[in-house]
Amino acid sequence: MITLITVVLAATPTPDPDFDPNTVTPGVVGFIVFFLVAFATLLLCFDVVRRIRRTTYRAEIKERLDAELAARDIDPNAPRTPGDKPE
For the segment 46-83, what is each residue's pLDDT rounded down to a tens digit?
999 999 999 999 999 999 999 988 888 887 665 666 65
Q: Which amino acid is at 52?
A: I
CA-to-CA distance for 24 and 13, rounded, in angstroms?
Answer: 19
The whole-chain average pLDDT of the chain stands at 83
The model's pTM is: 0.52
pLDDT surpassing 80 at residue 45: yes
Q: For residue 57, what pLDDT is reported?
A: 96
CA-to-CA distance for 51 and 45, rounded, in angstroms?
Answer: 10
Q: For residue 84, what pLDDT is reported?
A: 58
Q: For residue 29, what pLDDT is reported?
A: 93
pLDDT band at 37 (very low <50, low <70, confident <90, very high): very high
Q: Which residues of 32-57 are buried (b: 16+ CB within 10 A; e: fewer)?
A: eeeeeeeeeeeeeeeeeeeeeeeeee
CB atoms within 10 A of CB 83: 5
CA-to-CA distance for 53 and 46, rounded, in angstroms?
Answer: 11
